[in-house]
Structure formats: C-alpha cells, structure tokens
Amino acid sequence: MKHKVFFLLISVMLMGILAACSSEETSGNNSKESGTQSIELWHYFEGNLKDVLEDNVTKYNESQDKVEVKLTFVPYGELNNQLLISGTNDATPDLVITGINEVQLFAESGVLEDMTANVEEWENNDQITEDIMDIHKVDDNVYGLPIKTNAIVMFYNKDMVEEPPTTWEELKKTAADATDGKQTGFLASAHNSQQGTASWIPFLISAGEDITTIGSDGGKEALQLWKDMVDEGSMSSEAVNKTIMDAQVDFQNGNTAMTLTGPWFIPELEANAPDLNWGVAEIPKDEKHVSLVGGESISMGKGANKEAAWDFISWFLEPENHFEYAKATGDFPALEDAFNEPYFQDDPVKQVFVNVIKSSSGYGWGENQGDFNQIVYTAMQKALTGEATVEEAVTEAQQKVDQILQ
C-alpha cells in the first residue's frame, strides 16, 4: 500500500505545481497577538453551499474568542490534488471538507490526522450509523466525520407508475408495463464515469455482494437485470451515454417513467416541471433495500492544531447546529437527533431519503476508489452494449479486482 500511495503522490505532483489558494488569510497554525488561535479550513463549495458554510463559520467565530476559523476556497477539480501535494511539503490545512467517500483515500495517503481519541470522547459519537462511520475509518482509526449526507433513490412518475416497484422482479414488470412508443419505463445512468458506478452499485450490494465479489452469482444477476431491461426495450440503450443529470432531464420531460438520482433533483423538478406528478421510493431490492451514501465530511489535515480544529468540529456537529446546517444546504444530516426532527420526518419525500441514508453506506474503497470505479463502469458498458456477455464482463471485472487486492 505504501508503494501505491507513493506513486499516487508522484503522479499528482507531475500534474502541476501547487496553485496558490484563493484565500489571502494567514495559515492555520498562526495565532493573533490577542491569543486567538487562527486555523484554516479548505473547502470547494460554491453558491448556496458556500454562503451557508460562511454563515456557520461566522456564527462560530462570534460565539467565542479562542479560535478563529478562516476559509480557503479551492475549486472542486483541484482540491484533491492540492491536498495530496500539501502533504509532501507540510502545508496541509488544519481542516478540510472533502467528499464523504474520499476520506479513506486521503487517510491512506497520509495527509489527515487521526481523530479517534476526539471521537471516542465525543458525546454524539453514537448518533452516526455504523455503516457511515466505517467509511471514515482506516484500521479502526477515525479520520473524519460527516457534515451532510445524501443518497440516490428512485424517482417515479405517478401518472405512469401506479405503485413503485419494491423488488427486482417488480421493477422489470413495472418498467415493461410503463414502456410505450413515447417513453421507456426505466432509465438510470450507465455512463463511463463514477455516475454510472454509483447508479448500479446499489444493485450489487442489494444482492449481498460488493466489489470484491463482483464476479459472483449475485454480481451476475445484478448486471443481468439491467441487461434484460435494455434488451427488452424497457430501459434505453442510451443509458451508457447518459449521466445522472441526463437521465433527470429525460424524467422531467416525460421520456421515462422511473429514474435514479438524489435530492439535488427536487429543486429542478419544482422549477422546471411544476405540474409533473412525481414521487420517490427506495431502490428496488434483491435481498435488501440499499443505496450509496454521498455528501461531505470534515477532517483534520496532518499537523493540524488539533485542539482548535476539534473545537470547531464539535461545535459544527452539535445536533441543533448540524440540523440547521443540513436544512439550509438542502441535503440531509448524519446525526440521529437531526434525522428525527419534524422537518425531515413529517415530509414523505424527505422521510424516504432519511430511511435510505440510515440503511446505506459509502464505497469504502480507499486508495482503490479510482481503479474500482473504472472496473465497474467498464463491466457495465461492455455488458449493456453487447461487447461482452454479462458473465464475461463480471468475470473480467473480478480478475482485475483480484489483481489489485493481491
């Protein structure tokens, strides 16, 4: 693993010299003459997410005089590389917000501080589900905590689908029944990117499998389900060319009866298709309903002022603050107390997302995330286009996974 991380860092460094961050504030380990400790937080948020984060940081800074958090914006496409490079010249920030499924990657790359002692003493550490907490761990040590979550669910057109399917068998039948010359019954992204992987992985997990057993009978059945619907015409063969956002457009335009996407789609539906009669449901299951958790997490950079950094994290994740933050972002929380707020429980759409998030987990692929992602979407593309049979596609995928894990 050390060799793999070393070559990862070298490849990242070859991509360019670390660009100056957009903040002109002082770095995180400096202190003011007044005694206030200044710490730096890197993030990639823009628009409303940036405004909400800034509001919370201002509120925290004004609530006490011991620590001042200073924000540094790093564009989404640059943050991962800059964070990895920062670890090679002792320039990591005190705090960093990353994708929830990337914490293990950065921990294994050596750019994050171990937060285990802080989390074990934290009074709210039992409010995060075990599955979500696990994707913040490496060798049972904690390297981050979730600040907001989301998940992919099934959106369905109530005028085309009377009752949403709950099982794979029902999905095939409902999709076939809803298909006519104007629309397909089901459409999900099978794109050659993480969006395709994220759309299909819940089916693999629902079969009781994971990336390490993709070539199993369950893996074959999960991919065969999509292949059958494509062959039958109830799922567009164009799925291999469509991102999740493309599928969303087809859904809101009435070109498909069911699709898979997340809560970010709701404002678009309300704005662009106000008369569409839609609902949400859990992704149809084989053995169990499951989805893939997304969102963001907060971690301490290597060499951080841990006391000051934890002071902000623990404030940020106080249940009331956490609830208000999740509500303002339009995403969902990670703490049980926040999930139980009427705002989430009394809305039938939000309640579906809450139930899905609480019963799901993230990738947990660590440093192998990029490789595994490519293996999955390559298998999907080969099987759905007919370049390979389903058995050939998952067998090849299994061989590639085994080689990586040797």
CATH topology of domain 2-143+294-358: D-Maltodextrin-Binding Protein; domain 2 (3.40.190)
The whole-number pLDDT of residue 341 equals 95
The whole-number pLDDT of residue 35 equals 83
3-state DSSP assignment of residue 259: strand
Burial 101-122 (b: 16+ CB within 10 A, else e): bbbbbbbbbebbbbbeebbeeb
The whole-number pLDDT of residue 24 equals 37
The whole-number pLDDT of residue 361 equals 87
Which structure tokens are listed for 258? 């069911």
Q: Grade residue 4 by pLDDT with cuts at 50, 70 and 90.
A: very low
In this prediction, residues 202-207 reach a mean pLDDT of 97
Per the CB < 8 A criterion, the answer to whether 68 and 36 are in contact is: yes
The whole-number pLDDT of residue 34 equals 62
Identify the H or E element spanning 267. Answer: helix 265-272
pLDDT digits (tens, 9 = 90+) for 19-71: 333 333 433 344 444 689 999 999 999 999 999 999 999 999 999 999 999 99
In this prediction, residues 211-216 reach a mean pLDDT of 98
The answer, yes or no, to whether residue 187 has pLDDT greater than 50, is yes
CA separation for the pair 201, 294 (Å, rounded): 13
3-state DSSP assignment of residue 277: coil
Count other Cβ atoms within 10 Å, centred on residue 27: 15
3-state DSSP assignment of residue 239: helix
Enter the CATH code of domain 151-292+365-405.
3.40.190.10
CA angle 213, 215, 220 (to 5 degrees): 115
Count other Cβ atoms within 10 Å, centred on residue 89: 9
Per the CB < 8 A criterion, the answer to whether 234 and 185 are in contact is: yes
The answer, yes or no, to whether residue 173 has pLDDT greater than 80, is yes
Q: Grade residue 387 by pLDDT with cuts at 50, 70 and 90.
A: very high
In this prediction, residues 75-82 reach a mean pLDDT of 93
CA separation for the pair 78, 59 (Å, rounded): 28
Count other Cβ atoms within 10 Å, centred on residue 197: 26
DSSP letter at 27?
P
Between 298 and 30, the more confident residue is 298
CA separation for the pair 251, 245 (Å, rounded): 10
pLDDT digits (tens, 9 = 90+) for 232-244: 999 999 999 999 9
Strand partners, 285: 167
Candidate from 8-17, 172-181, 225-234, 389-398 with smallest mean pLDDT: 8-17
Per the CB < 8 A criterion, the answer to whether 388 and 224 are in contact is: no
3-state DSSP assignment of residue 235: strand
CA separation for the pair 280, 291 (Å, rounded): 13
Beta strands 137-138 and 141-142 are antiparallel
Burial 262-300 (b: 16+ CB within 10 A, else e): bbebbeebeeeeeebebebbbbbbbeebbbbbbbbbbbb
- Helix residue ranges per DSSP H, 16-69: 47-63
Candidate from 14-23, 49-58, 397-406 with smallest mean pLDDT: 14-23
The whole-number pLDDT of residue 181 equals 85
DSSP letter at 135?
T
Between 96 and 10, the more confident residue is 96
User: pTM, whole model, 2 decimals?
Assistant: 0.87
Looking at residue 209, its amino acid is E
CA separation for the pair 86, 91 (Å, rounded): 5
Across the chain, mean pLDDT equals 92
Domain boundaries, the chain: 2-143+294-358, 151-292+365-405
Of 63, 72, 16, nearest to 39 by C-alpha is 72
The answer, yes or no, to whether residue 106 has pLDDT greater than 60, is yes
